[in-house]
Structure 1
Amino acid sequence: DNKLGDICFSLRYVPTAGKLTVVILEAKNLKKMDVGGLSDPYVKICLIQNGKRLKKKKTSIKKCTLNPYYNESFSFEIPFEQIQQKVNLQVTVVDYDRIGTSEPIGRCVLGMNASGTELRHWSDMLASPRRPIAQWHTLKDPEEADSILNQK
């Protein structure tokens, strides 16, 4: 079973203010990363432009759960001219590990060059300015999700 889990978040863009608000709502059915069978997941959000990471934010860590609830809001400033072009939002669910390296469980990458639900969510956000649009996304393997970042 190679399912990594699903994540739900909302996107809201205010063109006049050039402000993108991401609310990480919850994740479910996360893949077990620890021997104990539970994870300590948090969500990392990266704003990427032209392949470069501009800003990073992260949620709090939820202990011992595969179905974490966050409801945490993050804002990024992106001028309207830029958001329609080479901007990607990379959302990664990470299993926090105090001792070793925190391992990514799965990821989704949104933007104009995305496809499927990732592209639809981004397009819906741009089509409905100032309205938060929430959607579920299926987590992908981080390398697979990042493949769109390398497209020219």
Structure 2
Amino acid sequence: MPENQHRMKTRVLKGTQNPYFDEIFTVYGIAANKLREHSLHLAVLGFDRYSRDTILGESIYTLGTTDDLINNNEKRSVTLPLRGRDEISETRGECLVSMAYNRQSNSINFALMKMKDLPRDSTVGLADPYAKIYMLYNGQRMARHKTATKKKTTDPTFNESFAFELPAGHTTHDLDKISFQILVLNKDGVTRNEIIGQVNVDADSEQWVSCRSQSGKQIAEWHRIMKYV
């Protein structure tokens, strides 16, 4: 950090709460007089073959903490406490969502209309935003749709509609177990795409409750985009 240009990853160790890696990584190209401006960001993750890895803990170590490292070229061992990722309430803009439940087809029409006030990246400026929309049942992802990418904008207009069909055997009694998650991402053709933020439309949200009680009626509402945690 702060450029995040160097990213290294250990191998995965299975079935242990006390992993021993014994791995060495080397970062090149940092001048001694710039060392105080840099930090190491260590993130420990639980590997998941089928979904996003779980962040178990994180720690940040400032390289300019000790003169030994800078002036004497000495090896230094440090023990870093792992901390959970704090829940951050910082908003990342807003998005307009329109929803309707169709009782006859047992499906949900989910429309992502537009977003506004997305954050600018400090290095690349305007993002190329797009969104992934998930339908969840009891907190588990069941289906996904993805929007088109909009180029260089903080106020993208999507106007895209998607149909989420409830699986066979699910009835209106299961609707209070359905929720939605929107991940807002920045398209990056060079490195992995960055998550800008997220929106959760929970089962007890006013919009989704209204949709369930008024079959066929399209109901629109603005939602704050929160920092992804």
Question: Is 1:100 the counterpart of 2:191 in the alignment?
Answer: yes
How big is the alpha-carbon RMSD for the aligned residues of Structure 1 and Structure 2? 1.4
Give the drift of 1:34: 5.8
Q: Aligned runs of 1:65-144 on 2, under 5 Å?
A: 65-78=153-166, 79-84=171-176, 86-113=177-204, 119-143=205-229
Q: Distance in 2 between matches of 1:33 and 1:21?
A: 32
The one of the two structures with greater contact order (alpha-carbon pairs below 8 A, sep at least 6) is 1
Distance 1:23 1:34, change over 3 A: farther
Give the drift of 1:36: 2.7
1:18-37 deviations in whole A, cap 9, x for unaligned? Answer: 11011110000001236231
The structure carrying a bigger helix percent of its residues is 1
Give 4+ residue runs of structure 1 displaced > 4 Å after superposition. none
- For residue 226 of structure 2, give the secondary structure of its aligned residue in structure 1: coil
- How many residues are paired up? 136
What TM-score does the superposition give when structure 1 sets the normalisation length? 0.83
**Residue 99 of structure 2 contacts residue 218 of structure 2 at CA under 8 Å; is this kept in 1?**
yes
- For residue 124 of structure 1, give the secondary structure of its aligned residue in structure 2: helix
Give unmatched runs, 5+ long, in structure 2.
1-89
- For residue 37 of structure 1, give the secondary structure of its aligned residue in structure 2: coil
Q: Distance in 2 between matches of 1:61 and 1:34?
A: 20
- For residue 42 of structure 1, give the secondary structure of its aligned residue in structure 2: strand
**Residue 45 of structure 1 contacts residue 91 of structure 1 at CA under 8 Å; is this kept in 2?**
yes
**Residue 91 of structure 2 contacts residue 227 of structure 2 at CA under 8 Å; is this kept in 1?**
no
Match of 1:31 in 2: 119
**Residue 3 of structure 1 contacts residue 31 of structure 1 at CA under 8 Å; is this kept in 2?**
no
Give unmatched runs, 5+ long, in structure 1.
114-118, 144-152
One-letter amino acid matched to 1:46: Y
Q: Distance in 2 between matches of 1:16 and 1:55?
A: 20
One-letter amino acid matched to 1:55: A
The structure carrying a bigger strand percent of its residues is 1
One-letter amino acid matched to 2:212: L
Q: Distance in 2 between matches of 1:137 and 1:51?
A: 19
**Residue 33 of structure 1 contacts residue 105 of structure 1 at CA under 8 Å; is this kept in 2?**
no
